[in-house]
Every structure is written in C-alpha cells, then in structure tokens.
Amino acid sequence: MQANARHQKHALATFVGLLPLIIFLALLLYVGLNAPNFLTFMNLKLVLAQSLPVVLAVIGLSAVVMAGGDDVVSGGIDLSIPATAVLCAGIVAVITTAGLSLVLAAGAALVACMLVGGINALLVTLLRMTPLLTTLAMFVAVVGINNVITSRRRLDLTSDAIASLRQDFAFGLPLGIIIVGILVLISYHLLHRTKWGLNLQAAGGSRDAAEISGIRVNTLVAQSYLLAAFMGFVTGFFILARGNGYSPGTEDNLMLEMVLANFLGAAFSPRRVVTMWGAVLGAVLVAAISIGLKTIGVNVFWTDLIKGALIVTVVALSAISERVR
C-alpha cells in the first residue's frame, strides 16, 4: 500500500515537473499552426541566430545555479549577467566608434566584466550575502555605469569582425551559430565531464556533504561567478552583432529570457535540476516562442507579459513538484 502511494506521488511529481515543457510545446504547436512558414529550415536558422545571446548567458547562469543549488531564493543565481553583457557591448561600442582598435576595446571590456564577476564572488562567498539580492543590486549598478559610459544612446558599429558573427557563413550556417555551438560543447564538457564540473554539482547538491568530502565549496562558487562574468563578456559581442551596434535597454529582455530558459531547462532533466544542456535547449525554445508570437502579430508588450507569466508558472510548478516529492 505504501509502495503504491509512493509510486503515485512520484508519478504526480514527475508530471508536475514536466508541465512547463508541456506548456511550451503547446505554445509552439499553436504558433506553428497559425504562423506561416514557422516550421521551415530558414526559420529554424533565424530562431537559432536570435537565441545566441540567451544561450551564452544561460551557460554562465547554469554554472552558478549548479554551484549554489537551484533554490530560487537561497541557492545560486546571477541576475547581473545581462548587465555584464551590455557593459561589454557598451564599452566595445564606445571605444571602437572613437576610432580605437577592437582588441583594445575587447581587453577593456574583459577587465570590466571580470571585475563585476569578482565583486559578486566576494560578496556571496566572503560576506555571505544572498545571491539573489546581491546580483540584482549588481545588475542595477552595472546598468547605471553603462548608461554613463554610453550616455544611453544608440551606437552603430562598422567592425567587420563583429559583423561576421551575423553575416558570414560556414557549412551553410551563420558563423555565429557555429561558434556558439563550439562554446556549448566546450562548456558541456567542462561542467558535466570534468572533475571540476562534478565537484561544482556536488557543491550545489549538498553543501555540507561536499565540505565533509573536502571540496572547497566557496572557491567553486567564486569560480562559477567568474565563469558567468566571462560568458557575459562573450554575450556582449553577440548582442552587438545581432543589433548591428549597441542599443540601450537590451538587458531587460535578456534577463527575462535568461531566467525563463534556465528554469525551463530543468524540465529536460530526469531529476528536474538545472543542467547546462537543458538551459541551452530552454533558450532555443524561448527564442522560438518570441519569434513565433511576433510572427502571428502579438504585440511586444503582450509578449513580455506572457514571458513573465511563464517564469512565474515554471518556478511555481518546480516548487510544487519538489513539495510533492
């Protein structure tokens, strides 16, 4: 009797955990039936191209969540990644439009982004501040700094190197998709197939058990924030390539899609935990939904509302699934 009850509870928890994925697939089906040419190869390439900044951002975010645990409030989270990305984009845009070299601009942006990651790491590991509030405050601060740097204005770029991420092709695919695909494979190996990555997951799974095993949890958490900052740096170049320059306000939509993709990705895991590959798939799904809704004529403000509602739904269903378990 008890075994049957446990089996029913496990089945219910599994179903609840899969509901976010079911909802997204239902939305995709609706869009596919109502949007002309949505399910074509050309549109698939467009979806992949539009998802690249989010894919890169969720790689960094998934590393932080894996190190700190996937509890939304007390676990690992880095909401400053979108701000770090636009900081990189803003610095590169300002320096290159001033006539200086892209290498110099990239170096300055890298230093700034890693400084953001280092501050996050110190505040979370040494001062034991809550990651959610810490990185949210950092997001606001970095966006403010970037607004000062760019004077919150549109900056057009003429860099061939950055434009090549959008317009150059190799093997029939945009160069940007190929580069991000390589970065995804490298990140997957780092986070899921190396000793460092396994220790990272152990730290997030049970901090006490990891520390008893001799794992330096604080060091791993700090390193995850530095990795997230580096991915924000890389994301900045793809933001510039996608928009053919820097535009203010990009960080808000990027944060929304990054958080949604990251927690949606947990639905792809058998244990309903955040994984890098699941977050990447979630990013592609989110991009597909965004493009699909735009294709069928949904107002952009309604699209943001739908994304916000989906975030609440995904997080709520995740909490319900854990409670049932």
Q: DSSP for 205-228?
A: H-HHHHHHTT--HHHHHHHHHHHH
Q: Are 135 and 120 in contact (CB under 8 A)?
A: yes
Sequence-ordered strand ranges (E) for the chain:
155-156, 169-170, 173-174, 245-246
Per-residue confidence in pLDDT tens, the chain, 325 aa: 566 667 667 677 677 767 777 887 888 888 888 877 777 777 788 888 889 999 999 999 999 999 998 776 677 899 999 999 999 999 999 999 998 999 999 999 999 999 999 999 999 999 999 999 999 999 999 999 999 999 989 988 878 889 898 888 887 788 999 999 999 999 999 999 999 999 999 998 888 888 888 899 999 999 999 999 999 999 999 999 988 888 888 888 899 899 888 888 877 776 677 888 889 988 998 888 888 888 888 887 788 788 888 878 877 777 676 676 6
Domain boundaries, the chain: 2-324
The predicted pLDDT at position 219 comes to: 95
Helix, coil or strand: residue 255: helix
Supply angle C-alpha 204, 280, 56, rounded to 5.
90
DSSP state of 173: E
Alpha-carbon distance values, 221 to 59, 62, 76, 131 (Å): 15, 12, 8, 11
Q: Are 318 and 271 in contact (CB under 8 A)?
A: no
The predicted pLDDT at position 325 comes to: 62
The predicted pLDDT at position 322 comes to: 67
CA dist., res. 255 & res. 196, Å (int): 27
The predicted pLDDT at position 266 comes to: 78
Pick the CATH number of 2-324 from 1.10.3470, 2.60.40, 2.40.160, 3.40.50: 1.10.3470
Residues 6+ positions from 52 with CB-CB distance below 8 Å: 176, 177, 180, 238, 242
- pTM of structure: 0.89
